[in-house]
Chains A and B, each alone.
Chain A
Amino acid sequence: MRDVAVVSFAQTPARRRVQEVNEVEMLMPAVHTALSQVDMTIDDIGFTCSGSTDYLAGVGFSFVSTLDAVGPWPPIQESHVEMDGAWALYEAWVKLQLGEVDTALVYCYAKSSPGDLPMVLTRQLDPITVGPLWPDSISLAALQARALLESGKATEEEMAEVAARSRKAAMDNPNAQLAWDRPASDVLAEEHLVAPLRRSDCPPITDGAAAVVLAAGDAARERSDRPAWIRGIDHRIEPIHLGHRDLTVSESTRTAAEKAGVADGSVDVAELHAPFTHQELILREALGLADDALVNPSGGALAANPMMTAGLIRMGEVANRISAGTADRGVAHATSGPCLQQNLVCVMEGEG
């Protein structure tokens, strides 16, 4: 295996609605900041991979037009995943493992705001026996939360604590969309949105973009004083039908964590893509994190949840902490699909 590292990360400030610019214009600052931070241009990049989804843009092959953000002429080696950018990073990591290129640019973006997001997300369900009922994403998460509560593995108080801790942590994150400092008891006093979930158990709707530069071996050491080396990365998927899964556990996260080697050392920081409070509790258990582990110091997806982007941001946040020397070993997690259907786990470490 080649040593591959995250050497640069940039994101746009998370906002409820970015209306005055198109996707390319929204994305440009993230791409060009990520490149300029390591004194690179697109000409220095061996492979480019992006993550986004047509269902949010409302047009087919929408990613083609956003290639304008990187200027694909003369022709570049390029690919796209209809997924969060975390999966685009995985593809770029595989490409770097093949040894043909030493650097890669990964970017992702989505405007979540133009459509009715919880309803748009029903289009990822079984299109014949489930999708036509239009069970929105919040309702499905609420089913999972109820299953978790009734299993005795979590309480509404613990969910509220996750909400309060995440939004308070977000006050230190200039890119966060939703930040406040209120006790968990305030969350418990809220009306239910879709019971048992309250509004504060749910993520905001967010527009945003992010970009990462990956480099292998010496190319990484040339660009960064302290690259965030990817020591393990794995992703797993579970069945599309919720009825085929035990919703109170995340078997795909557990398997991915095992394959990525999460348990092979101590974890200084974990950034988990848990859009709903109860999902953080499920993920902590699946990843085997200690109770005192530093989880989501950025505020996580409860503070900003740009579609197709929040997962890559988790990887960038961990990489930033490693590069800054405030963490030696971290875990980044990304999810996609209803109720944590599929999950990606990445272990990163610094050297020296």
Chain B
Amino acid sequence: MTPPPAPDQVLSAPLIIEYPFTRTTGPVIGAFLTGLREQVLVGITASDGRVICPPVEYDPATGEDLTDIVEVGPGGQVVTWAWVATPHEKHPLDEPFAWAQILLDGADTPLLHAVAADGPDAVSAGLRVVPRWADEREGHIGDIACFVPEEA
């Protein structure tokens, strides 16, 4: 029997992860993405009256169709956050930044995005933030380049 090859002789190939599909996003997610392109943030009213953002097509509790789209934000406040000292090349920002759950004004569920800040001491729960829009917007979550602390 042939002995197994030494580890440095093992054949290998790059593993590239991607999501190479085109989707039709429908009236709810599509409205959110269209809003991003226009610099307008929207959520959706759930059956219990809470406003969910990003909007979802079905009520999380009852499963019924949701259709009542409402404008939220654009500002909001940080609910919880984590400080990334060494960003990954795929992360939204090249410099150290915070991931944050951001409760947009008028919404009852937080949205995840990146917050650009001077350092971890500049971020805290309750921090007011506003979106920094990308120069070219195409109906994508990346149309918000990041959130930044609101000017006092």
Contact partner of B112 among A116, A119, A242, CB < 8 A?
A242
Question: Can you name 30 A-B residue pairings with CB atoms under 8 Å?
Answer: A19-B12, A20-B5, A20-B7, A20-B10, A58-B15, A115-B17, A123-B17, A126-B54, A129-B32, A129-B111, A130-B112, A130-B141, A132-B141, A132-B142, A133-B113, A133-B141, A134-B90, A134-B91, A140-B99, A142-B99, A143-B82, A146-B80, A147-B80, A150-B125, A194-B84, A195-B83, A195-B120, A241-B54, A241-B109, A243-B110
Near B by CB (< 8 A), chain A positions 210-239 give 239
Verify B111–A243 contact, CB threshold 8 A: yes
B85: which of A115, A133, A195 is its contact (CB, 8 Å)?
A: A195
- Determine the interface band of chain A, counting residues with CB < 8 A from chain B: 35 or more
* Chain B neighbourhood of A21, CB < 8 A: 4
Alpha-carbon separation in the docked complex, A120 to B88 (Å)? 13
Chain B nearest Cβ from A54, distance in angstroms: 11
The answer to whether A13 has its CB under 8 Å from any CB of chain B is: no
- A58 and B12 CA atoms in complex are apart in Å by 12
| Among B17, B19, B79, residue most surrounded by chain A Cβ atoms (within 10 Å) | B17
**B109–A244 CB distance below 8 A:** yes
Contacts of B54 in A (CB 8 A): 126, 129, 241
Given contacts A114-B15, A115-B17, contact A132 B140 (CB under 8 A): yes
Kindly state the separation between the CA atoms of A143 and B82 in the bound complex, as whole angstroms: 5
Which residues of the other chain, B, contact A194 by a CB distance below 8 angstroms?
A: 82-85
Confirm or deny: A261 has a beta carbon within 8 angstroms of a beta carbon on chain B: no
* Known pairs A20-B6, A136-B88, A145-B82 / 4 extra A-B pairs, C-beta < 8 Å: A134-B91, A143-B101, A243-B101, A244-B60
* Chain B count of residues within 8 A CB distance of the other chain: 44
Contact residues of B with A, CB < 8 Å?
Answer: 4-7, 10, 12, 15, 17, 19, 23, 25, 29, 32-33, 52-54, 56, 60, 79-85, 88, 90-92, 99-101, 109-114, 120, 125, 140-142
| Complex alpha-carbon distance, A135 and B113, angstroms | 9
Question: Known contacts A119-B17, A133-B92, A243-B110: does B60 contact A150 (CB below 8 Å)?
Answer: no
Residues of B within 8 A of A128 (CB): 23, 25, 29, 33, 141
Q: Is A55 an interface residue (CB 8 A)?
A: yes
A-chain residues with CB within 8 Å of residue B88 when the two chains form the complex: 118-119, 134, 136
**Residues A271-287 near B (CB distance < 8 A):** none
- CB <8 Å contact, B7 and A19: yes
Interchain CB contact under 8 A, B4 and A239: no
B120 and A133 contacting across the interface, CB-CB below 8 Å: no
Instruction: Tell yes or no: A139 within 8 A of B by CB.
Output: yes
List residues of chain A with CB within 8 A of the CB of B17.
55, 58, 115-116, 119-120, 123
Which residue of chain A has the shortest Cβ distance to B19 in the bound complex?
A127
**In this assembly, does A153 line the interface, its C-beta being within 8 Å of a C-beta of chain B?**
no
| A192: Cβ under 8 A from any B Cβ | yes
Q: Is A196 an interface residue (CB 8 A)?
A: yes
**Most B CB within 10 A of own CB, among A20, A123, A140:** A20
User: CA–CA, A150 to B120, complex, Å?
Assistant: 15
- Bound together, the chains give a CA A134 to CA B93 distance in angstroms of 11
Q: Which residues in B have their C-beta under 8 angstroms from that of A315?
A: none
Chain A 134-170 residues near chain B, CB threshold 8 A: 134-136, 139-140, 142-147, 150
Contact A247 B120 (CB under 8 A): no
For A58, give the chain B residue with the smallest CB separation: B15
